[in-house]
Amino acid sequence: MTETTKRIRVEMLARVEGEGGLEVDIADGAVQSVRLSIFEPPRLFEAFLRGRAAAEAPDIAARICGICPVAYQMSAAHAIEAAYGVQPVPEVRALRRLLYCGEYIESHALHMVMLHAPDFLGYEDGIAMAAAHGELVKRALAAKKAGNALMRVLAGREIHPINVRLGGFYRLPGRAELLALQPDLARARDDSVAILRWAAAFEFPDIERDWELVALRHPTEYPLNEGRIASTGGIDIAADAFETVFEERHIAHSNALHAVVRDRGAYLTGPLARYALNFDRLPAHIQALAREVGLGPVCRNPYRSILVRAIETVFVCEEAMRLIATYRPPQAAPPAVVPRAGTGAWATEAPRGLLWHRYEIDSDGTILSARIVPPTAQNQPAIEADLLDIARRRIDAPDDVLQLACEAAVRNHDPCISCATHFLRLTVNRR
- Positions touching other proteins (CB under 8 A) are 12-19, 39-48, 50, 52-53, 56, 59-60, 63-67, 69, 106, 110, 114-115, 124-128, 130, 137-138, 141-142, 144-145, 148, 156-160, 162-163, 165, 170-171, 248-252, 254-255, 257, 407, 416, 418, 422
- Closest to other proteins by CB, 47 vs 288, is 47
CA distance 195 to 113: 8
**Cβ atoms of 195 and 313 closer than 8 Å:** yes
Least CB distance from residue 265 to other proteins, whole Å?
Answer: 17
Helix residue ranges per DSSP H, 263-304:
271-278, 284-292
CA distance 266 to 413: 14
Least CB distance from residue 268 to other proteins, whole Å?
Answer: 23
Least CB distance from residue 341 to other proteins, whole Å?
Answer: 17
Least CB distance from residue 46 to other proteins, whole Å?
Answer: 5
**Cβ atoms of 60 and 75 closer than 8 Å:** no
- Closest to other proteins by CB, 130 vs 268, is 130
- Closest to other proteins by CB, 133 vs 217, is 133
Least CB distance from residue 143 to other proteins, whole Å?
Answer: 9
- Kindly give the pairing relationship between strand 164-165 and strand 342-350: unpaired
**Cβ atoms of 348 and 78 closer than 8 Å:** yes
Q: Is 360 left (phi over 0), alpha (psi -120 to 50) or beta?
A: beta
**Cβ atoms of 20 and 14 closer than 8 Å:** no
CA distance 57 to 75: 10
- Closest to other proteins by CB, 168 vs 344, is 168
- Closest to other proteins by CB, 148 vs 412, is 148
Least CB distance from residue 31 to other proteins, whole Å?
Answer: 22
CA distance 199 to 239: 35
- Closest to other proteins by CB, 138 vs 175, is 138
